[in-house]
Amino acid sequence: MKNYCSIITAAVVLFLMGACQKGPIDSLNTPVVGTISGNPTRSDLFNLVTGIESGMRINYAGYLDGVGVIGREIYRFSGSEPRYTTDLLGGGTRILDNNTFYLTNPWGSRYQVMRQCFILLDATRNARTEIASDVQKKAFSGFAKTVIGYQLLLNINMTDSSGARIPVPNGAAPGAVITDPAIVLDSVLKFLDEGQTDLTGSTVMFPLSDGFAGFKDAAGLLKFNRALAARVHIYRKEWAEALTALNGSFFDLNGALNTGVFHFFSTNGGDIANTMYLAPNTNGEVRVSHPSYAANIVPGDDRLAKTALRNSPISQNGLTGTRDVVIWSSLNAPISIIRNEELILIYAEAKIQSGALPDAIVALNRIRSLHNMTPYAGAITPAALITELLYQRRYSLFMEGHRWVDLRRYNLLGTLPKDRPDDDVWTRYPLPQNESNL
Amino acid sequence: MLLPKTGLLVLLFLCSTLALFAQQNISGKIKDAVSGKPIPGVTVRIQGTNRGTISDATGAYSLSVPSGNATLLVTFTGYKTQTIKVSPGTNVGDITMEEDFAKLDEIVVTGLATSVKRSNLANTVVTINANQLAGTAPAQTFDAALSGKVPGALITANSGAPGGGISVKMRGITSVFGNSQPLYVVDGIFFNNSSIPAGLNDVTGAATAGNPNNQDNPSSRIADLNPADIENIEILKGASAAALYGAKAAAGVVIVTTKKGRAGKTKVSVNQETGFAKVRHLMGVRTFDADKAADLAGAADNPDPVVQQRRQAYRDQFNAAASAGKIYDYEKEMYGETGLILNTGLSISGGNEKTTFYMSGNRRQEHGIVKNTGYFNNSARLNIDHKLSDRISLGVTMSYIHSDADRGLTNNDNNGVSFGVALSSTPTFVDLFPNALGEYPRNPFAASNPLETRDKMTNNEVTNRFVGGSNLEVRLQQSEHSSTKFIGRGGVDYFNYKTAALFPRDLQFEENALQGHSIQGNTNNTNTNLGGFLTNTFTPNENISLTSTLGATLETGYMDNIVTAATNLVSGQSNLDASANTTTRQFRQKYRDNGLFLQEDLSLLDAITLSGGVRFDRSTNNGDYKKYYVFPKGAVSWNIARMKFWDVKSIQSLKLRAAYGQSGNVPPYGSKFTAMLGSNIGGLPGVLVDNLLGNSDIKPERQSEFEAGLDLSVLDGRITLEATYYNKQIQDVLLRHALPGSSGYANEWKNSGDLRNKGIELGLTVIPINTKTVKWSSTINWWRNRSKVTKLLIPPYAIGAFGNSLGTFYLEEGEPATQIKGTVGSELKLIGNSEPKFQMSFFDELTILKNISIRFLIHWKKGGDNINLTQLLTDLGQTSFDYDDILHGQKAGVYRTGAGDASIYVQDASYVRIREIGVYYNVPLRNTNIIKGIRLGVSANNFFTWTSYVGYDPEVSNFGSNTITTSTSRGSNGLSTGVDVTPFPASKRGSFHIGVDF
């Protein structure tokens, strides 16, 4: 009996003592927002910047697919996802859904990056000066504001007059939905301009991926910022301002077309692969160019090579494609954010619209010659040149998210082909259903 | 801390010496009152002590009783308890026992430390014995065997994949994002039932587009339990009954008691089941002809020459295939296998007066209805009970389980790789079979060749699990009017769960993309639970008994899940390092819950029971981890037939009862944090704010349940009726509520509304025939539940499935929590409800000549809609069996996809099903000493179903249940059952059984 007692005593006591843990159980898996923005280390700040750069890629493929399909640049066939060929093309009685992936995923991811930018702004403000000096802090905030402006631009591109909300700092009450896209673009520009101010005279201490190769320092980021501003200015029909912004950017009429800033992708651990790459000639998940892409191209234009003839055509839901989109060569290929080819076309557009037609023709011919086309020989009128410009933008910026926005700007969405009798060409996405959840 | 102090107190008592008494011997035989057969295994115990004996195989017993007046309690499961006074110097002699049809004397566990006779119970507690559980037609897993047997429960098989995966919902919707599955307690040990995904999402991309919730279709860990070891199951359905189990019990408690040894000769029992599994139902495939094949390329009047060219190509392909006889039904090819089932069990039990033991080993092996799938489970159990003295008894239980399941690749995917999604667009005239070199043709109609995928891939889960616990009971003091007991209980549940999803680089969908996947997960999980209880029973006289219970409980859990996904594999290799790229994800979760409770039970005249209690709970998952939340409970029952004035002889029991209780449901781990998730680029480490906003003020959901009922037993228990009404309210419902995307967050954790479930449960048991040759008993259950969102502090929102255009669960104040809304035209309309209108079951048992028994269970579910996206996918792939039927002037498949009407795919999933039917024969044996008994039987499980539902089975769930929410994947929610996306088809089983006792 005594033996049992001691054994039981020991067992019970040990078990109970062991069980008496105290204290809270903190997050075991990840840092949490409050601690990282309250008193950040230098590494914390770097990690936040990397998160911003990385986050910009999330669901960007969904954005490009969506505006590419609606803008009749491509067909997106998917064995398991019918809505690329129904909703997005307005097949039958289908309309754009305000609560599904092609809208809510890119929309949410862009605002998620903006939220992260505000967290970086908080963290930068709270960082001790031994962590980052004032000029170093300026680079962080300039980068964050530039990205906010860019991300907001992508969302208002989708919803246009359905509206968007201006992002607010952490903890602030959200503003109203603004359904005038001009006001939202004001705000985009404001963020970009504030970014420009902060970046001017700052020192960049944080690392960026090779997507920013050549633009990793303050001067480079300023050029990137101004390039984006130039894009916004032409959307706002502010031609003089667009030219001014180009001057601050990496615009180079005689430079390489692919100079610019890219999203870096890789299949390495923890990184994101470029899902815009789909192996040619596969079935199931497919991106093929819209038949009009090859049909409307000027013979000899080398941009036909952005697509490749399939071994056999592919069909889904009454649509058939023969050419795979091959802009991206692998899962590791970068996707452009903005590059010199667009800047040259922005230059041409601003020049046409401000009446400097010869300057515009020089720029257009630069594009034409680089794509194996003869110099421009059409009418020298603003209207004819705009038609030429839109052709060049269509083929130069194929699947970079521009055609649908361009045709909307010029009120030409009615010229897009409808492949099936009941198809529609949408002018904008609806406001996501979740925006009513306040 | 309360516990160590009570612990020391107990030890003092433990060590006190025990008094000795003078003895006298009594003996006799125990027999059945109707048949006169001896009853072995009856417990004869001296009231108020631990002293007693058990009748042997011939029904004989003998016991020494202290001289002086003593009272004997004679108890045996299924018989009425007898109380016999022993006068000094006299023997008791033979005892006859009457069968207890109404189970009034059955002892029911109500709290953690106390138990009550069924006749005095204030709640409905469902008890399922071994015969009902596995004695008719054994299901694949333990949880599947509960289907149709629990009034008030909605039990849904998520998938037919080997190894199971079952969702159990007691009394409607308990929680949307918190735990909605019951707590499983096996011999006092909290048995973990989490579902841990294998990382298949990396291949399928299922959660990347329409719905972020995990769709990996993992099995649930309760499936590890061997049904053959179970003695009985008690089910506490809601807070009013289960409140003493605290925060983990909000969705009900399933209390499993495993078999124990009995004193006497050692009994050896061997059971063998041999059977087969076949698919329950195939949907069928479209019959093609040359025109239909051509139409796959585009309409006949399409002016595009490319389309016309392609039409001709398909036409030629069809004609060539047809003339070569190469038209294949790939659905049958994929799901048409017959799986072999082998189930071998061995158990040894016995012991003496002081020590009893039960040992068992079990080996279950079965092949699935898809090639290369199957389930294999080996388990061993040892239960030992030992009486250290008259005052102290100790029970130890240990089990080890090894299970291994190959589950194929099914359910939703966005990459065209799962079996069903690939099949949905594959017509019959394409040849997918390998050539003589073993090379599989490329499937031009889908991203993958499903036959190649099936033959080359692996999706395996292996679990090694140890579950052990002990139970200590100490009678601290005993006097004429009062006795005090200490009960200590502890348990540990540890498992290691290894998943391997291997996709070689030469698969159609891998060769030009990521070139092979090897996704290997390793999870270690430890749960512990510990409790100490003091109970005191005070009986001032025969008519009054007061039981007080004071207890403290502590539960902890720690899970560590590491998944590494390797891509670009070295040819033929699966090791993670034989690859060009690897990504590792880790997720850990840890919690500590503790509670204190106090309960008083008062029994008057053995007819009136009053009880009241209060529980204090806290958890580290709550926003304020130090705060105790208070949950009261109370119950009253009055058995009018036991009152002195009652003189209706034919009614033995007429009980009115009411109970009220509250319990909490703790928030999921991590809901109080806003995480920064890893997000790297170009080799730089980064963190990106999660789109799920945490809430540092998160608090538990509070459930208040009221139930009232009437129990009636007439004609000696030949007819019994149980009727129960309940109203279960959940306050502060935890919602992962959708935020405007422009906030930067998609969702936020918030206590944001109230839910209500009201329901009725009726049970009628009749024994129409009870003679020596034939006995027939029949139980009919009927139940229904209605849930409603009574308050919603946030705007109504869609919470499940795949968006409005395909039908979605939609939370809205004043509407049922289970409603389904969808886009019809351009409006969002109510198009369905996943909750059944009612359910009904019939369980009948017919015993002929004592040795032949026939049992069957019929289950009828009326109403309850599914979102049938399997049909949508086959329509889009133009392979539906009824694609060419004419509907509204169009081909059905064209009409359904083009109508812009989500209600077309929201379909009634009613069914009537013979769940189980079994015939067993006990071979009468004479003149053998070695073999004590032989049983033979045949059974059929889920063999016959009547339904108008079009999918594989009306029971289905793409999202599974209770899947863990990791930092990168969202777990499933409590509403999303009934979403049908190309599941693993359900199977039916037929078996032959043989059992031998030595």
What does the pLDDT look like over B665-715, one tens digit per residue? 888 888 888 888 888 998 899 999 988 888 888 888 888 999 999 989 888
A112 versus B746: the higher-pLDDT residue is: A112
Across the range A4-19, mean pLDDT stands at 50
The predicted structure's pLDDT at residue B261 = 85
- Give how far A259 is from chain B: nearest CA, Å: 19
Instruction: Look at strands B183-186 and B253-258 and give their pairing.
Output: parallel
The predicted structure's pLDDT at residue B480 = 80
Total domains present in chain A: 1
The predicted structure's pLDDT at residue B723 = 93
Task: Tell me how crowded residue A172 is: count the other CB atoms within 10 A of its CB.
Answer: 9
Residue B830, phi then psi, degrees to nearest 5: -70, 120
Of B286, B284, B405, the C-alpha closest to B335 is B284
**The pair of three-digit structure tokens given for residue B237, joined into one six-digit string:** 């359905």
Phi-psi domain of B383 (left: phi exceeds 0; alpha: psi -120 through 50; beta: other): beta
The predicted structure's pLDDT at residue B212 = 60
User: Is A300 a member of any domain?
Assistant: no
Q: Do A51 and B676 touch (CB under 8 A)?
A: yes
User: Is A50 a member of any domain?
Assistant: yes
User: Is A292 a member of any domain?
Assistant: no
In this model, does residue B13 exceed pLDDT 50? no
The predicted structure's pLDDT at residue B390 = 82
User: Is A194 a member of any domain?
Assistant: yes
Answer whether B497's CB lies under 8 Å from B196's CB: yes
From residue B494, alpha-carbon distances to A15, B189, B463, B557, B838 in Å are 16, 11, 10, 10, 39
Contacts of A105 in chain B (CB under 8 A): 209
Indicate the residue of A271, A315, A432 with minimum beta-carbon distance to B297. A315
The predicted structure's pLDDT at residue B105 = 65
What does the pLDDT look like over B596-612, one tens digit per residue? 989 888 888 878 889 88
Confidence of residue B739 (pLDDT cuts 50, 70, 90): confident
Task: Of B218-222, B251-255, B744-748, give the lowest mean pLDDT range.
Answer: B218-222
Q: How do the domains of chain B map onto residue ranges?
A: 21-99, 125-281+337-458+470-477+488-517+525-681+706-997, 290-326
The predicted structure's pLDDT at residue B223 = 81
- Assigned architecture for domain B21-99: Sandwich (2.60)
Q: Do A283 and B689 touch (CB under 8 A)?
A: no
Q: Do A1 and B388 touch (CB under 8 A)?
A: yes
Q: Please, which residues have CB within 8 angstroms of residue B509's CB and are 6 or more apart in sequence? A: A282, A284, B415, B416, B417, B447, B448, B453
Answer whether B202's CB lies under 8 Å from B519's CB: yes
Answer whether B520's CB lies under 8 Å from B563's CB: yes
B297 versus B105: the higher-pLDDT residue is: B297
**The pair of three-digit structure tokens given for residue A11, joined into one six-digit string:** 């067992």
From residue B351, alpha-carbon distances to A95, B47, B271 in Å are 74, 22, 21
Q: By residue range, what is the domain housing residue A67?
A: 34-207
What does the pLDDT look like over B127-165, one tens digit per residue? 887 777 777 777 777 777 888 888 888 888 877 788 777
Q: Do B310 and A101 touch (CB under 8 A)?
A: no
Q: Return the residue matching tokens 């996943």.
A: B834
Confidence of residue B5 (pLDDT cuts 50, 70, 90): very low
Three-state helix/strand/coil letters over B63-78: EEEECCCEEEEEECCC
Q: Do B581 and A267 touch (CB under 8 A)?
A: yes
The predicted structure's pLDDT at residue A10 = 52
In this model, does residue B3 exceed pLDDT 50? no
Across the range A325-342, mean pLDDT stands at 95
The predicted structure's pLDDT at residue B847 = 87
**AA letter at A8:** I
In this model, does residue B14 exceed pLDDT 50? no
What does the pLDDT look like over B748-761, one tens digit per residue? 888 888 999 999 99
The predicted structure's pLDDT at residue B102 = 62
Task: Of B184-193, B405-414, B796-805, give the lowest mean pLDDT range.
Answer: B796-805
The predicted structure's pLDDT at residue B971 = 60
CA distance A310 to A323: 5
What residues form DSSP beta bridges with B26?
B63
Instruction: Look at strands B651-665 and B458-478 and give their pairing.
Output: unpaired
- Give how far B264 is from chain A: nearest CA, Å: 25
The predicted structure's pLDDT at residue B457 = 92
Residue B506, phi then psi, degrees to nearest 5: -90, 5
The predicted structure's pLDDT at residue A286 = 92
For B:889-918, CB contacts with A below 8 A are 897-900
Indicate the residue of B421, B678, B683 with minimum beta-carbon distance to A79. B421
Q: In what order do the strands lie in the sheet with B52-54?
A: B52-54, B43-46, B70-75, B82-86
Answer whether B193's CB lies under 8 Å from B962's CB: yes
In this model, does residue B932 exceed pLDDT 60? yes
Contacts of A279 in chain B (CB under 8 A): 512-513
Contacts of B302 in chain A (CB under 8 A): 318
Burial class (CB in 10 A: 0-12, 13-18, 19+), B588: middle
CA distance A196 to A192: 6
CA distance B665 to B177: 10
User: Is A328 a member of any domain?
Assistant: no
What does the pLDDT look like over B547-576, one tens digit per residue? 888 989 899 999 998 989 898 898 888 888
| 3-state DSSP assignment of residue A2 | helix
In this model, does residue B8 exceed pLDDT 50? no
Measure CA of the first residue to CA of the last residue in chain B; give whole Å: 51
The predicted structure's pLDDT at residue A221 = 97
Measure CA of the first residue to CA of the last residue in chain A; give whole Å: 68
B2 in A contact zone (CB under 8 Å): no
What does the pLDDT look like over B858-914, one tens digit per residue? 999 999 999 998 999 999 889 999 999 998 888 998 899 888 788 899 999 999 999
The most confident of A120-124, B10-14, B352-356, by mean pLDDT: A120-124
Indicate the residue of A17, A25, A207 with minimum beta-carbon distance to B592. A25
- What is the Cα A14 distance to its own chain's centre? 59
Confidence of residue B772 (pLDDT cuts 50, 70, 90): confident
User: Is A172 a member of any domain?
Assistant: yes
Helices (runs of H) and strands (runs of E) counted in chain B: 12, 52
Answer whether B869's CB lies under 8 Å from B820's CB: no
What residues form DSSP beta bridges with B184?
B191, B254
Task: Of A152-161, B120-129, B521-530, give the lowest mean pLDDT range.
Answer: B120-129
What does the pLDDT look like over A334-388, one tens digit per residue? 999 999 999 999 999 999 999 999 999 999 999 999 999 999 999 999 999 999 9
Q: Do A209 and B682 touch (CB under 8 A)?
A: yes
Q: Do B689 and A33 touch (CB under 8 A)?
A: yes
Q: Please, which residues have CB within 8 angstroms of residue A291's CB and are 6 or more apart in sequence? A: A320, A321, A322, A419, B304, B306
Indicate the residue of B582, B587, B798 with minimum beta-carbon distance to A29. B587
- Can you give the CATH number for the domain in which A160 is found? 1.25.40
Answer whether B972's CB lies under 8 Å from B927's CB: no
Residue of A nearest to B413 (CA): A80
Of B179, B169, B173, the C-alpha closest to B668 is B179
User: Is A160 a member of any domain?
Assistant: yes
Instruction: Look at strands B339-351 and B264-279 and give their pairing.
Output: antiparallel
Q: Do A50 and B296 touch (CB under 8 A)?
A: no
**The pair of three-digit structure tokens given for residue B983, joined into one six-digit string:** 């599941």
User: For chain A, what is the radius of gyration of the CA atoms?
Assistant: 26
CA distance B531 to B185: 13
In this model, does residue B25 exceed pLDDT 50? yes
Contacts of B210 in chain A (CB under 8 A): 81, 100-101
**The pair of three-digit structure tokens given for residue B251, joined into one six-digit string:** 């969705």
ipTM of the complex as predicted: 0.89
Q: Do B740 and A118 touch (CB under 8 A)?
A: no
Q: Do A434 and B740 touch (CB under 8 A)?
A: yes
CA distance B272 to B327: 41
From residue B455, alpha-carbon distances to A45, B285, B449, B576 in Å are 49, 22, 10, 21
Average pLDDT value over all residues in chain B: 85
Across the range B804-818, mean pLDDT stands at 87
Across the range A106-112, mean pLDDT stands at 95
Answer whether B120's CB lies under 8 Å from B611's CB: no
CATH of B125-281+337-458+470-477+488-517+525-681+706-997, picked from 2.40.170.20, 3.30.70.20, 2.40.128.690, 3.30.565.10, is 2.40.170.20
The predicted structure's pLDDT at residue B908 = 93
**The pair of three-digit structure tokens given for residue B57, joined into one six-digit string:** 């195989």
- If you write DSSP's letter for every residue of B796-859 in order, what string do you get? -EE-STT-GGG-EEEE-TTS-TTEEEEEETTEEEEEEE-S-SEEEEEEEEEEETTTEEEEEEEE
User: A42-55 vs A101-126: helix axis angle to the nearest 10?
Assistant: 160
Answer whether A56's CB lies under 8 Å from A151's CB: yes
CA distance A75 to A65: 9
Contacts of B589 in chain A (CB under 8 A): 28-29
Confidence of residue B946 (pLDDT cuts 50, 70, 90): very high
Confidence of residue A17 (pLDDT cuts 50, 70, 90): very low
What residues form DSSP beta bridges with B464?
B402, B496
How does DSSP classify residue B178? S
The predicted structure's pLDDT at residue B12 = 39
Task: Of A55-59, A100-104, B66-70, B532-536, give the lowest mean pLDDT range.
Answer: B66-70
User: pLDDT exceeding 70 applies to what percent of chain A?
Assistant: 95
Q: Return the residue matching tokens 């959660």.
A: B207
Across the range B522-542, mean pLDDT stands at 89
**The pair of three-digit structure tokens given for residue B684, joined into one six-digit string:** 């730089």
User: Is A411 a member of any domain?
Assistant: no
Answer whether B953's CB lies under 8 Å from B160's CB: yes
**AA letter at B578:** A
Evaluate the CA torsion angle B824, B826, B829, B832 in order and state its sign.
positive
